[in-house]
Structure 1
Amino acid sequence: MNLEKLQVGLLVLLKSREQESQNDHPYFRQVNSSGRLSVLQEISGWWRIFAIERTCILTSALLKKRGTFDEVAGRFANRPDVTPYYQQQAAIFLADMGCHSDPLIAAVASFEAALLAIKAGDMTGPVTIDWQHAPYAVLKSLLLGAPLDEAKIRGAYRMVVSHDTPELFYVKPLQ
């Protein structure tokens, strides 16, 4: 077996968590049945969760406030289709969370994704995000670890994120 087949085969085992037909070589069957593979898979998942927590700071903080971070990040970390590059993992994670059924999680994730896109130089135009809560109050709570009383900050707001804006974003209350 050549080095390329070995590397690809091991990556498939590490990411897919199951034996695939192209890995029918006795060596891969042995690795797949060993307890060591599950340890490596678990460590790989921890690194992905750690990367999400450190890269998607605002969204992670909100998910922790909701008590769902471990579940959501763990499910994401176990996806076999996620890239090993943490910057790309963050973009994929935030895109997923930007479609979340909870409008606050979706707004925060969309905002954070836009900021990361600006930082990476990937933003081509302004991004508009509608919020059902006062964005500054939400961001203050997430950044300072302060309590978040959602009932007191409900309202309709529009945030525009753009690299052309000196502060990178501004917020307008909607009537």
Structure 2
Amino acid sequence: MDLASHQRILLGLMRSTYQPGAGDAPYYHRVAGSPDLQEARGNVLLWRIYVLERTCVLTVELLRQAEVLEEALQAFIRQENISPFREYQPLAFLDFLGGHADPLVVSVSQFELALMKVREGDPCHYVVDWSYDPGPILQALAQREPLPDRADPDLHRTEISSDLPYLFEIKRLARDSANERSKFHTALTRGSRYKSTGATSQ
């Protein structure tokens, strides 16, 4: 076996995306069942959490409250080629969550991604649409407090840009002015029902 194939198998074992078959060498079967591999996977997960909880505060807090943080991180590790440079990992993680099944996770993560970009000098103007007031949600997440028990449907838009005094602002919209490309979804988070149009940027 060539070196590249050997490395791909080991990476697959590390990511839990490869299981040795009957045609694989005994070495790979030993590695797959090794407690050292489990420990290495655990260390990688803890390191990702350490980095992300210091950089993606809002999103990590939401995932933690919804008890899906480890699940989301495991999916990220399995599916993405993660940069070894720590400064790129938060951006990649937030971008990855743009495809999450929970529209509230999508909205919060894409808001935080846009905010992170404009803080670094990105000149683009970003838009995230919500069908409820994001203010109380963002405040609770920023203070690491439980999300409000209820959120009444109320269409809002967050605009994120370096041109704005505080880098973002929240606007209430009439329902018929929502981005036509957005679709309404229902998300269950901490037993509460939220409707979201999802996240868009421009």
What is the CA–CA distance in structure 2 between the aligned matches of 1:105 and 1:30, rounded to whole Å?
37
**Equivalent residue, structure 2, for 1:126:** 125
1:91 equivalent in alignment to 2:91: yes
Write 1 or 2 for the structure with the bigger share of helix: 1
For normalisation by structure 2, the TM-score amounts to 0.67
Give the 3 Å change call, closer, same or farther, for CA 100–132 of structure 1 in structure 2: farther
What is the CA–CA distance in structure 1 between the aligned matches of 2:139 and 2:45, rounded to whole Å?
30
- Offset, 1:43: 1.4
For 1:145, the aligned partner's letter is: R
For 2:165, the aligned partner's letter is: P
For 1:105-144, list aligned pairs within 5 A: 105-121=105-121, 123-144=122-143
What is the CA–CA distance in structure 1 between the aligned matches of 2:74 and 2:81, rounded to whole Å?
14
- Offset, 1:158: 0.8
For normalisation by structure 1, the TM-score amounts to 0.76
What is the CA–CA distance in structure 2 between the aligned matches of 1:79 and 1:137, rounded to whole Å?
32
**Is the 2:137–2:147 contact (alpha carbons within 8 Å) kept by the matching residues of 1?**
yes
What is the CA–CA distance in structure 2 between the aligned matches of 1:9 and 1:85, rounded to whole Å?
24
Give the 3 Å change call, closer, same or farther, for CA 145–48 of structure 1 in structure 2: closer
For structure 2, list consecutive stretches of 5 or more residues without a partner in the other structure: 175-202
What is the CA–CA distance in structure 1 between the aligned matches of 2:6 and 2:50, rounded to whole Å?
22
**Is the 2:156–2:173 contact (alpha carbons within 8 Å) kept by the matching residues of 1?**
yes
State the identity as a percent.
Answer: 30
Secondary structure in 1 matching 2:151: helix
What is the CA–CA distance in structure 2 between the aligned matches of 1:9 and 1:39, rounded to whole Å?
23
For structure 1, list consecutive stretches of 5 or more residues without a partner in the other structure: none
**Equivalent residue, structure 1, for 2:43:** 43
**Is the 1:15–1:80 contact (alpha carbons within 8 Å) kept by the matching residues of 2?**
no
**Equivalent residue, structure 1, for 2:12:** 16
Number of aligned residue pairs: give it: 164
**Equivalent residue, structure 1, for 2:63:** 63
What is the CA–CA distance in structure 2 between the aligned matches of 1:61 and 1:124, rounded to whole Å?
27
What is the CA–CA distance in structure 1 between the aligned matches of 2:78 and 2:55, rounded to whole Å?
18
What is the CA–CA distance in structure 1 between the aligned matches of 2:47 and 2:10, rounded to whole Å?
13
Give the 3 Å change call, closer, same or farther, for CA 41–101 of structure 1 in structure 2: closer
What is the CA–CA distance in structure 1 between the aligned matches of 2:9 and 2:47, rounded to whole Å?
17
**Equivalent residue, structure 2, for 1:159:** 158
- Offset, 1:19: 8.9
**Equivalent residue, structure 1, for 2:189:** none
What is the CA–CA distance in structure 2 between the aligned matches of 1:14 and 1:51, rounded to whole Å?
24
